[in-house]
Structure 1
Amino acid sequence: MLLKKLQLKTIDYKLVLTMCFLFFFNSIISAQEIIKDTVIQKPVQLQAGQKQKIDGIIANVGDYIVLDSDIDKGYLEITAQGGSVKDITRCQMLGKLLEDKLYAHQAIQDSIVVSDAEVRGMMDDRLNYMIQQVGDINKVVAYYKKNSVEEFKTYFSDILKEQKLASEMTKKIVDAVEITPEEVRNFFKKIPKDELPTFGAEMEVAQIVVEPKVSKDDKQKVIDRLNAIRKDVLEGSSFATKAVLYSLDPGSAPNGGYYKMTRKTPFVKEFKDVAFSLGEGEISEPFETTFGYHIIMVDKIKGQEVELRHILISPTVSEDALKDAKERITNIRNKIVNKEISFAEAARTESDEKETRANGGTLVNPNTQDTRFELTKMDPTLYSQVSNLKDNEISQPILNTDDKGKKTYKLITITNRIDAHTADYAKDYTKIKELALKEKQITTISKWFDTKIKDTYIKIIGEYRDCNFVYNWLKK
């Protein structure tokens, strides 16, 4: 594939900066990789002894422009990720850039909005990463040949906004695609028998989770800490900075705690109730969810949409609480091993994990929403916990620490194994449906390009008009 990633041993800071800067918002599916590759009639490249071209506009898509240097930056981004560019022509790279520009242009026509607060959050994330890599923001500014940090931020925010618009447009197209059981059936029927996909070995896994009990004193320490942070913000400190420094939410902390949400956004009820009870500029009192304790500050309210920042802090679990949790889960395991209770029944009555308790502890694969886990694609931590288990064997108590630092004990068992096999419609319906949906999404995106290109002002200049693009950018 065009952007295949390999491992690089060393990357200089210029390479890192360009890698950070480009292509942060990939499509939900990489249509340009899956559908077709650009076919070149005449490669566009400098000949031996030919002078370096002066950078300039080589294409327009609506109000957007593509510079010749944008193609060079594209090559550098791929190299920075460890990919090979030897088989990628400048025409192919231009084709990808034109796609991105058309996505962004149409997003504006469709009234897709990317807020300034959202861009600022993304910029903070990117700049923090760049500075971590090179050590000095002035190196970032100098590399992009800007005269000041503010000039660079203005330039950078425009690029980030364009990339986010393209991402949202792609998501809008893909999310609108639905597929019926009849379409899935027809998709499967048209695959020749000797070309049916092969699915790797899989397993179904169940678990029982016991959470250590947190003392009232430990909870109060967290509440007091959040109240102190809240007081500092009310007195003029930056909520976003506090979130970066103290929040334990990995999904939002790098962006200053930023989230954009509606009442349909899949957040826990307690969080949404507080978020939608606040006015612009208000900061909540500390409140509890299953993840820990939060405070929320609302940045902006747009109709049914709220832009907010939050800080999450979880109480520290004491050694005594961990010891008690281990004893409790050991007793549960002994009952299962002694046939006093089944694993599924123990999960329903004893597990502290609400997401799996009702279905006997069975885990759902977050990538497929199925109960099967393909061994070659399984999360490495989960794989290490189940790889040596025999059928119906119960693991010893496992101390687990999640990405927020929360500690729990759990028992794991394998409830079913599926050997590697050729696709079977009845047994593999979920996977076949996923493949059929992806094909329909790709076809939809291809048709979208064909339609929008006809309705959009597009101009390609110079020798790039010799490229024979798959999409009709030249409107011949």
Structure 2
Amino acid sequence: MMNVLNNKIVQGIFLFLIGFSVNAQEIIKDKEPEKKATTPQQKRQRVDGIVATVGDYTVLDSDIDKAFLEIEGSGGSVKDITRCQMLGKLLEDKLYAHQAIQDSIVVKDEEVKEKMNQQIDYMVEQLKSMENVVKYFKKNNEDEFKTELFEILKQQKLASEMQKKIIDPIQITPEETRNFFKKIPESERPMLGAELEIAQIVIAPKVSQAEKQVVIDRLKEIKKQVQEGASFTTKAVLYTEDPGSRSSGGFYKINKKTPFVKEFKDIAFSLQEGEISEPFETEFGFHIIYLEKVKGQDLELRHILMMPKVSYDALKEAKDKIELLRTRILAKEITFAEAARTMSDEKETRANGGTLVNPKTQDTHFELTNMDPVIYGQVSNLKSGEISSVILDEDAKAGKRYKIIMVTNKIEEHTADFSKDFIKIKELALKEKQINAIAKWTDAKVKETYIKINGEYKDCTFTNNWLKK
């Protein structure tokens, strides 16, 4: 089985094992060390050898190989990246992690274990068994594999928290933004892609009380079976409709700050250890919760989510309603914004006339080439003021629903303009300021941290002064 693994699976697994972020800092072309002829025995020694040390951390030659695999697995190209460049990036990651320890940044083992368990679930799903995972990564046993994965993930988390500590306090003023823009020669100002502002109206089919009762009765039956000795974990694996917790048997660890819906937390914090709730409803569907343990402020619980089924008649009624609404808007009996405010079932957009907010930028502009592929397919051919046909949308949270989308404004590709594109220019200025801050921080920490580069990598020309020349 190990010899016939799909490349995509292998690359997907390696995505979990290396904390490489291409966005953290640009990889700049370095000098590649001279390649020397090696025997098979020497190659084995190279893969297992320590090529660099940063503080308390080491980098193996095999870590560089894994980093290349991660980029390829995420769809990137590695043809212009040398081993020297990749080592430089890994050295940055180790420096962040080392300094995080010096700065007493705390990473909770529970958080790391939770992430580790999620990733192991993924690996087991891909390789069919834990035994195969251990064998594939050439570990002696499951404990050895878990110990190594835990340390890798903890280093990633430490590095991430250290980087956040450096850049989070950095802010950019309007004056700094203006000066940043003025420094760019007019002939070199960036081209900004076509952008859209869009609004939508959503009509959701109504779930009948009878369908709700079917789910409530099923959850009550599961609760009864568990009280009679059945495993709640097994029932969750078999029946829950929550994809985020199915593989772990419905397990979550939460406290009062965990961003779960209020109804869920209210029920969870009202239970005693070992108690199972009655079925209750949230915007996601109907749940039952089994409280396993209370650990200080934290609850360890399992839950089962079930969503009532929508009947064919309810779907047809919703479609007829939105088609009539679209006809009325086109006939100018009512504006799109008025219809959204009074009739849309999407509460997040209803109040502002159906206008969508870009989750990445928190403004209303969507760059056409960076849009969600599904939305892109629905609006890319629309002109400003045009409305889409009725679309059947299957939302992971809300289930099946119908919607129509209107392009309220279309901005064609253009050269960056300070007044029109202030938010984007501000983001670029902030990014430059953050990169400069990281560079300054790295330069200072390299000088005061124990760093050793071994073997042929001493011939590299790095962006940072890792060789302390």
Contact 1:21 1:126 in 2 (8 A): no
Q: For the residues of structure 2 that align with 1:316 and 1:274, how far apart are their CA atoms?
A: 24
Match of 2:153 in 1: 160
Q: Does the alignment pair 1:475 with 2:468?
A: yes
Match of 1:343 in 2: 336
Contact 2:29 2:82 in 1 (8 A): no
The equivalent position to 1:237 in structure 2, one of 221, 225, 231, is 231
1:3-53 per-residue CA deviation (whole Å, 9 max, x = no partner) reads: xxxxxxx98458844651355575777223x2x52632x615433669436
Match of 2:56 in 1: 63
Match of 2:429 in 1: 436
Contact 1:395 1:412 in 2 (8 A): yes
Q: For the residues of structure 2 that align with 1:455 and 1:297, how far apart are their CA atoms?
A: 51
Q: For structure 1, which segment, 440-449 or 350-359, has the greater mean C-alpha deviation from structure 2 after superposition?
A: 440-449
Match of 1:177 in 2: 170
Q: How many residue pairs end up in the alignment?
A: 463
Identity rate, percent: 63
Q: Which amino acid aligns with 1:436?
A: A
- How far is the alpha carbon of 1:359 from its aligned partner? 0.8
Q: Does the alignment pair 1:46 with 2:46?
A: no
Structural mapping, 1:279-358, within 5 Å: 284-296=277-289, 310-358=303-351
Match of 1:3 in 2: none
- How far is the alpha carbon of 1:153 from its aligned partner? 2.2
Residues 223 and 454 of structure 1, relative CA distance in 2, 3 Å threshold: farther
Structural mapping, 1:31-430, within 5 Å: 31-32=24-25, 34=26, 36-37=27-28, 39-40=30-31, 43=33, 45-47=35-37, 51-52=42-43, 54=45, 55-81=48-74, 83-227=76-220, 237=231, 239=233, 245-251=238-244, 253=246, 266-274=259-267, 284-296=277-289, 310-404=303-397, 406-430=399-423
1:46-65 per-residue CA deviation (whole Å, 9 max, x = no partner) reads: 33669436223232223222
Q: Which amino acid aligns with 2:97?
A: A
Residues 126 and 106 of structure 1, relative CA distance in 2, 3 Å threshold: same
- How far is the alpha carbon of 1:185 from its aligned partner? 2.0
1:64-112 per-residue CA deviation (whole Å, 9 max, x = no partner) reads: 2222322233334444455544443332222122222222223334444
Contact 2:340 2:354 in 1 (8 A): yes
SS of 2:52's equivalent?
Answer: strand
- How far is the alpha carbon of 1:246 from its aligned partner? 4.2
Q: For the residues of structure 1 that align with 2:9 and 2:295, how far apart are their CA atoms?
A: 36
1:223-244 per-residue CA deviation (whole Å, 9 max, x = no partner) reads: 34445555667757364x6655
Residues 245 and 445 of structure 1, relative CA distance in 2, 3 Å threshold: farther
Q: Which amino acid aligns with 1:378?
A: M
- How far is the alpha carbon of 1:463 from its aligned partner? 3.4
1:236-263 per-residue CA deviation (whole Å, 9 max, x = no partner) reads: 7364x66555444445555665667666
1:323-366 per-residue CA deviation (whole Å, 9 max, x = no partner) reads: 22122223322332332221111111111111111111111112
Q: For the residues of structure 1 that align with 2:161 and 2:248, how far apart are their CA atoms?
A: 18
Contact 1:250 1:404 in 2 (8 A): no
Q: For structure 1, which segment, 313-322 or 345-354, has the greater mean C-alpha deviation from structure 2 after superposition?
A: 313-322
Contact 1:27 1:170 in 2 (8 A): no
- When normalised by structure 2's length, the TM-score is 0.84
Residues 393 and 90 of structure 1, relative CA distance in 2, 3 Å threshold: closer
Contact 2:18 2:67 in 1 (8 A): no
Q: For the residues of structure 1 that align with 2:364 and 2:313, how far apart are their CA atoms?
A: 35
Contact 1:295 1:311 in 2 (8 A): yes
Contact 1:326 1:409 in 2 (8 A): yes
Contact 1:14 1:143 in 2 (8 A): no
Q: For structure 1, which segment, 130-139 or 261-270, has the greater mean C-alpha deviation from structure 2 after superposition?
A: 261-270
Contact 1:46 1:52 in 2 (8 A): no
Name structure 2 gaps, 5 residues minimum: none
- When normalised by structure 1's length, the TM-score is 0.83
Give the RMSD, CA atoms, in angstroms. 3.5
Q: Which amino acid aligns with 2:359?
A: P
- How far is the alpha carbon of 1:206 from its aligned partner? 1.0
1:135-169 per-residue CA deviation (whole Å, 9 max, x = no partner) reads: 34333212322222233223322222222332333
